[in-house]
Amino acid sequence: MKKKIRENQKRGNALSRDRVIETSIELLNGGGETELTFRALSQRLDTGPGAIYWHIDNKSDLLNAACDLVIARTLNAVPKAMAPDMAIRAVALAMFDMMDEYPWIGSALAQAGGKLPMVRILDVLGQQIQVLDVPEQTEWAAASALLNFILGVGGQNAANAQTAQRENLERDTFLGEISNEWSKLDPVEFPFAYRMAPRLPAHDDRADFLAGIDFIIQGLAKLKSNPDDF
């Protein structure tokens, strides 16, 4: 039996942190978090699982780095030369669209507290908040309110995508199922959900997201004009 030749290093196919991360992103984009295993990854990189550990600390480091790369690229592509409130909307929408297209990002972000990917988003938001000229002691609360709302939406989106994948459903039929479940709830115990059930399938996630961002921005504006309310 011929020995398998795999001298990647000498043939210019050398493993590198960047290649590991790029390939991880391919796997994640393709099939979500479930697809990213050290075995699948090493197979695609034509190497052994152990080799990856030379370039990466552990799985959470890997997920974090993959997430960070995608977020940095996305944030860089957002034009920000506009009024601060518009820039905040633009950044938020870019995050929404990214997490909508690649749900794994939302759950990766949820796992990385205070880490670089999160800090990137926070910082861009915070810069605009500064331009908005809110009182200094509320800058942090404002930026992290926006961030936490974005992370919350991204997390829910990721959870929905994963359930839909597990149950092998299209996104639309998945929403239909939830609507159906909600309409079977006790209208006395769950009046709101029961009432919202029929609206669920037709509603526009993206518009709702933007409305949420607007609530926060408007709340900030009100604080500026009426600081005694706070």
- The residue among 45, 42, 126 whose CA lies nearest residue 80 is 126
Q: For binding to DNA (CB under 7 A), which residues are involved?
A: 4, 6, 8-9, 14-15, 36-40, 46-51, 53-55, 58-60
Minimal distance, residue 36 CB to DNA, in Å: 6
Identify which of residues 56 and 217 has a Cβ nearer to its own copies in the complex.
Answer: 217
Half-sphere exposure of 113 (CA within 13 A, CB side): 0
- CB-nearer residue toward its own copies: 44 or 206: 206
Residue 122 contact partner, candidates DNA, its own copies, none, CB within 5 to 8 A by sort of partner: its own copies
Q: Whose Cβ is closer to DNA: residue 31's or residue 187's? A: 31
**DSSP structural state of residue 82:** S
Pick one of DNA, its own copies, none as the site partner of residue 39 (Cβ within 5 to 8 A by kind).
Answer: DNA
What letters, b where the CB count within 10 A reaches 16 and e where it falls short, cover 175-184? bebebeebee
Burial 54-64 (b: 16+ CB within 10 A, else e): ebbeeeeebbb
Contacts 24+ apart (CB under 8 A), 171-176: 172/201, 175/200, 175/201, 176/201
Element (H, E) at 96: helix 84-101
What span, in angstroms and rounded, lies between the C-alpha atoms of 186 and 188? Answer: 5
In the complex, minimum distance from the CB of residue 34 to DNA, in angstroms, rounded to a whole number = 8
Q: Which is nearer to its own copies, 41 or 75 (CB)?
A: 75
Question: Closest distance between its own copies and the C-beta of residue 89, in Å?
Answer: 13
CB 41 within 8 A of CB 24: yes
| Residue with smaller CB distance to DNA, 60 or 180 | 60
48 binds, among DNA, its own copies, none (CB under 5 to 8 A by kind): DNA
Binding site for its own copies (CB under 8 A): 107, 110-114, 118-120, 122-123, 125-127, 129-130, 138-145, 147-153, 155-156, 158-160, 162-163, 178, 181-182, 185, 189-193, 196, 199, 203, 207-208, 211-212, 214-223, 229-230
Question: Taking the CA atoms of the chain, what radius of gyration do you get in angstroms?
Answer: 22
